[in-house]
Amino acid sequence: MELQIRKAMKRYFGYEAYKPGQEAVIKSILQARDTLGVMPTGGGKSLCYQLPALLLPGLTLVISPLIALMKDQVDALNDQGVAASFINSSLEPDEVRYRLYQASRGRCKLLYVAPERLASEHFNSLLDKIPISLVAIDEAHCISQWGHDFRPSYLGIGSWIGSMQKRPIVAAFTATATPKVREDIIRLLALKDPQVFVNSFDRPNLRWMLMKGIDRERFINRYLREHPDQPGIIYAATRKEVDSLFAELSVRSFKVGKYHAGMNSEERNHNQELFIHDEIQVIVATNAFGLGIDKSNVRFVIHNNMPRHLEAYYQEAGRAGRDGQAADCILLYHAGDIHIQKYLIENGTLSRERKVVEHMKLKSMIDYCHTPGCLRAYILSYFGERDFKSECGNCGNCNDYIVRDITIEAQKIFSCVYRMRQRYGSSMVASVLKGSQQKRIYQLGFHELSTYGIMSNLATEDIIEMINLLAAEEYLTITAGKYPIVKLTSKAAPVLRGEKRVIAKFPQPPESVSKESTIFQALRSLRKTIARQHGIPPYVVFPDSTLREMCERLPLNREDMLRITGVGEIRFERYGSQFLELIQKYVADPESIEKEKSLVRRLLPKDVTDKKKKSNIAGEQPSYLITWMQFQEGMSLEEISQEREMRPSTVQEHLLRAVREGYEVDWDRLINRHQEEQVLRTARELGTSGLKPIKKALPAEIDYFTIRMVMEKNGIRPS
């Protein structure tokens, strides 16, 4: 039996070794034992029932909650040479009968169905004619009211299994189950003397980070710029926030889509497909997105708001790094998130008892956001683990942070809030502390306060972030509603009296990623081309982890390629020769893929004609290009103007032309970060039909050149 298992695992799935916990679960099922497997996302749950399905006689029925999950897994199985199908509401009755007929003839080893289907008498009458060896229940936590995603349709699964003429092996799987939820799964599914396997919830490749009180849009914009081409998910709490963030990122020319329940199903499915097929980099979504999305190469998950409970957070964040490669899980926490989640609980359709449970879970989530200890340890402890290190060395609370005493800044902010009678929002408080010349500040007499201008050395945005940080640490509270107001809490009083100091941790943002190797980029490009030809997601061809192993080992023949993890015989027969040919070409002549180029040629836009290239390299350089080259060498605009005896406006026009023709520039030398935010914000409010209204609404120090450069950088064209 062991030899059969190994052969099937290598042939169909391309694996020679188990992931932690898989072997025990698979052998338990093959020994005809009811089994409960609690394995983290990315831990290989699917293989634990897919592999036994190939070795057991008859049919394996997989009960799964979402159409997207069924379709993705069935497509992947069929591509690997495994006969699989699904039945859901998208199919006509004739197609349902045909698929069940195929299963009855032994032409299907795995059949995916939704739990609601089990209530259909017609479906059951057709299913009665098919020998079923195994029933696998995915997302089994949905059966428990203590679970984070309770579904009443799951409650009937246990009685349905009990009504079968011949009871099959029953296996239940979940990624997020506390001890209480595990008890409910066993009891409500009526598992018989089950073997229970609880893998560690730890996923060492995930880096957990918690950023408090920061400007969320600014952080996300910076992160995406510094992690180009890396697929990721950004979760927001409400549809309105999803729409707003999507619009912001679209204006900045990021490849982004959105997903929430307010969109029609066609739009949602289209955006989901674009993301799965790597046609867009990022999807911004509510928690309606993600369950069953089997995309292995998600490199980051950012939560724009605090989720309601840790089970949801762990499952959503856990969609990063399913291929075992390093990934970031970042939570951007503001104190106002608590108000949002409490509102959603109280105004939802939950029963009174369920609301009590939800408030208890929310309390644990809030505690996570305030723990000074290891973030990973907190999560593991919550899920009932005991054997873990108190410091993991790979989370924001264990490393990569700066400890600062911000008592003086806190006292200034508290004093200003008090003197403004605790009746205004953070923007107005920050403007007073900055010493803004706003007309309204003078109308209200705030320019006469002793706190006016006492933080003039900081940018207004930085003061707002500090206010949000102090709110996150519960020194301040920010009221809910359309016009949030900043108020002092009892914790602020001893700080104002000088009896207590405010010590804050400032996590460092994740570092920019280095550019991927040329051979990896070439393999990924080939994978995308093949995926488009076959109409499947790129990761179904080969996951990123397999491509990286190809880059490290550079296989040159069939035998070497089959030793790569994830390259099974079926996949090699379909795609392997194309990847081998590319690697062989690279090994024989790396220059064929990666050619060293001069500075000018390397930075030339791709659509420049050969004639223009020759002119730029060999002949007389156009004047604007000389200006661009001097700027690239480190000269300032003033220095270029003096050396070339040109008016400053001419130098500016030269650089604008170079940018428009595709030449790269160091944007940080040209555009102040805060001014860029102001220009973009104003452009969103006023539109881009003309520059004059935008210029008029901005501070005097922001000139037309800056406005035009911001628009060029962010791909905005005046309408």
8 Å CB contact between 398 and 415: no
CATH of domain 518-592: 1.10.150.80
- In which residue are the tokens 């006509």 written? 92
The pLDDT of residue 665: 79
What's the CATH fold of domain 206-400? Rossmann fold (3.40.50)
CATH of domain 419-507: 1.10.10.10
Please state, in angstroms and rounded to a whole number, the distance separating the CA atoms of residues 540 and 556.
22
Backbone angles phi, psi at 667, to 5 degrees: -60, -35
Decide whether 2-198 matches 518-592 in CATH topology. Answer: no
Number of C-beta neighbours around residue 178 at 10 A: 20
Please state, in angstroms and rounded to a whole number, the distance separating the CA atoms of residues 687 and 693.
9
8 Å CB contact between 68 and 272: yes
**How long a stretch of residues is the chain?**
719
DSSP three-state, residue 82: coil
The pLDDT of residue 597: 31
- In which residue are the tokens 């201008």 written? 453
The pLDDT of residue 419: 95
Q: Say what the alpha-carbon torsion angle 365, 227, 325, 562 is, to the nearest 10 degrees.
A: 150
DSSP state for residue 575 in the 8-state scheme: I
- In which residue are the tokens 């075992």 written? 324
Question: Residues 6 or more apart from 154 whose CB is under 8 A from it?
Answer: 115, 137, 140, 142, 143, 188
The pLDDT of residue 683: 83
Number of C-beta neighbours around residue 64 at 10 A: 21
Q: Hey, CA dihedral for 332, 335, 336, 337, is it positive or negative?
A: positive
Backbone angles phi, psi at 210, to 5 degrees: -130, 115
Backbone angles phi, psi at 83, to 5 degrees: -75, 110
Q: Where are the alpha helices (DSSP H) in 277-425?
A: 310-317, 336-346, 352-370, 375-382, 407-419
Residues of the chain with pLDDT under 50: 595-620
Best CA proximity match to 260, nearest among 272, 276, 277, 242: 242
End-to-end, the C-alpha distance of the chain in Å comes to 68
Please state, in angstroms and rounded to a whole number, the distance separating the CA atoms of residues 617 and 362.
63
5-22 pLDDT tens trace: 888 888 888 888 888 889
Exposure of 353 by Cβ count < 10 A (0-12 exposed, 13-18 middle, 19+ buried)? exposed
Query: What HEC string does 29-52 produce?
Result: HHCCCCEEEECCCCCCHHHHHHHH
All structural domains of the chain with their residue ranges: 2-198, 206-400, 419-507, 518-592, 599-713
What pTM, to 2 d.p., does this model score? Answer: 0.65
The pLDDT of residue 618: 34
What's the CATH fold of domain 2-198? Rossmann fold (3.40.50)
Please state, in angstroms and rounded to a whole number, the distance separating the CA atoms of residues 623 and 615.
12
Please state, in angstroms and rounded to a whole number, the distance separating the CA atoms of residues 171 and 516.
41
**134: which strand partners?**
60, 169
Please tell me the class of the 599-713 domain: mainly alpha
Please state, in angstroms and rounded to a whole number, the distance separating the CA atoms of residues 664 and 648.
20
